[in-house]
Structure 1
Amino acid sequence: MVTDMELAALAVRLTDEASAEPLDAGRILAALVEGVRRLVGTLGAGVHYAVPGDGEVRTEGTSTELRALTADAAAWGEGPAHEVRTAGRPLIDVDVTGRPARVRWPRWVPRARALGLARVTALPLSDGGATVGALVLHGGPGPSLGMPALMRARAVGGMAADMLSLVREVERNRSLVAQLDHALTSRVVIEQAKGMLSVRRGVSVDEAFTLLRGYARSHRRKITEIAADITEGRADLHAL
């Protein structure tokens, strides 16, 4: 029987992976599938995660074979994970041994059956109300998942989705800070170059900027590059 301590330990593991440097959603996905497999007691687990904003789909599985199947299913646009990720609705305890499943997922089912899979449950992963992925529980022949196991899987999937959202937010903030830092540095260099050019050519600061901009355009270079040449002593100020 799964204890609260085991659930708490997995929550800590997911949090640790989300805060580890360098940031990597792949570690969270790996911890998710292995952790949920142990907690739920299913044959295996897989996950699709569609990174918001760039269209990339990350996948993971609890074995070499399931990792390959999960990645191929994402590329095919087929299978339970793809269906749940695009529709946003869970699939609960679907029998994959019969003809209906083969018609529904013609490439996925033969591969799944070859791995001994007989039943599948797929749960949406959400970020801000939008479905960004799917957690898939792979079962073999035998009884279906009970409600307690299903609730644990939902809880763990929710934790992982929160961690993935956190990582994405941190990455976005870091990117924004880097862009602002670059813009500020470029502005400082341009202002320095304007001042140097103004003094050397005996013109106003505004006129110096006009000279700087005109030279950059005529030589098809960025103003920041010309400005850096000026401040670092590589440019002939009288040629501008």
Structure 2
Amino acid sequence: MVTDMELAALAVRLTDEAGTEPLDVGRLLAAFVESVRRLVGTQGAGVQYVPPGDVEVRTEGTSTGLRALTADAAAWGEGPGYEARTAGRPLIDLDVTGRPARVRWPRWVPRAQALGLARVTALPLADGDATVGALVLHGGPGFSLGEPALTRARAFAGMGADLLSLVRAVQQNRDLVGQLEHALTSRIVIEQAKGVLSVRRNVTVDEAFTLLRNYARAHRRKITEIAADITEGRADLHAL
């Protein structure tokens, strides 16, 4: 059974990755699958992740071969990770060496077997009511994911999904703050330019803005660009 210490150790590592600047989701996913592989005791692990409202599938794996297989499976729309992600249902300890698996996943199975993989478990990653990805655990011949290991894997999948949701919220907030900062900076520059024009052209502030806006339209430039030229002394004020 997964211990509080193991969960805490994984949480610390993933939180450290999530706190890097700039935020790198790829590094976070890589740290996630490697930690899960080690703590659950599987031969390898992979992950597919698609944030809500996005279309790009982010993938990672614990080896070069698994990284390539996980990415190709997402592109093919095939394999246990794709099924768990799109159907929102787990696939537990499946044998992928027989004919049923080859019929089900004709491109994925030969590649998996070439990597020495024989059994697979895929667990959905949920963000609220939406399934945003899947954690895939790979084992070699003779490997079987027992109940204690499966319990650990489920706990780690839940933690990973929660952290990815938090990272997405943080990124959205960062983007919003950046947009607001840009808008505020632009507004300040425009107000400064209006003041300069008002004094230099002996017009009201409203008239100065009209001059600024008309000039920008006539020359197909942004008002903020013209305003910056004015405040930085690059503009011919009599041309406005």
Q: TM-score, normalised by structure 1?
A: 0.93
> 1:17 is paired with a residue of what secondary structure?
helix
For 2:49, give the aligned amino acid. Y
> How much has 1:216 moved relative to structure 2?
0.5
Give the aligned partner of residue 229 of structure 1. Answer: 229
> How much has 1:176 moved relative to structure 2?
0.9
> How much has 1:4 moved relative to structure 2?
4.3
1:51-88 deviation line (CA, Å, top 9, x unaligned): 33332211111111111111111121211111111111
- Divergent runs of 4+, >6 A: none
Question: Is the contact between residue 186 and residue 224 of structure 1 (CA under 8 Å) also seen in structure 2?
Answer: yes
Listed as ranges, the matches of 1:46-61 within 5 Å are 46-61=46-61
- In structure 2, relative to structure 1, the CA distance for the partners of 1:3 and 1:235 (3 Å cut) is closer
Give the aligned partner of residue 187 of structure 2. Answer: 187
> How much has 1:143 moved relative to structure 2?
5.0
1:141-168 deviation line (CA, Å, top 9, x unaligned): 2252122211100111111122222222
- Would you say 1:159 and 2:159 are equivalent positions? yes
User: In 2, Cα distance between the equivalents of 1:200 and 1:109?
Assistant: 75
For 1:218, give the aligned amino acid. A
For 2:224, give the aligned amino acid. T
Question: Is the contact between residue 52 and residue 130 of structure 2 (CA under 8 Å) also seen in structure 1?
Answer: no
Question: Is the contact between residue 120 and residue 139 of structure 2 (CA under 8 Å) also seen in structure 1?
Answer: yes
User: In 2, Cα distance between the equivalents of 1:3 and 1:190?
Assistant: 58
Question: Is the contact between residue 28 and residue 160 of structure 1 (CA under 8 Å) also seen in structure 2?
Answer: no
> How much has 1:2 moved relative to structure 2?
6.4
User: In 2, Cα distance between the equivalents of 1:182 and 1:32?
Assistant: 34
Give the aligned partner of residue 196 of structure 1. Answer: 196
| Structure 1 residues without counterparts, runs of 5 or longer | none
Give the aligned partner of residue 30 of structure 2. Answer: 30
User: In 2, Cα distance between the equivalents of 1:7 and 1:230?
Assistant: 57
Give the aligned partner of residue 90 of structure 1. Answer: 90
| Structure 2 residues without counterparts, runs of 5 or longer | none
Give the aligned CA root-mean-square deviation in angstroms: 1.7
User: In 1, Cα distance between the equivalents of 2:132 and 2:107?
Assistant: 23
- Structure 1 vs Structure 2: percent identity of aligned residues? 84
Q: TM-score, normalised by structure 2?
A: 0.93
Question: Is the contact between residue 47 and residue 59 of structure 2 (CA under 8 Å) also seen in structure 1?
Answer: yes
Aligned length: 240
- Would you say 1:178 and 2:178 are equivalent positions? yes
- In structure 2, relative to structure 1, the CA distance for the partners of 1:110 and 1:232 (3 Å cut) is same
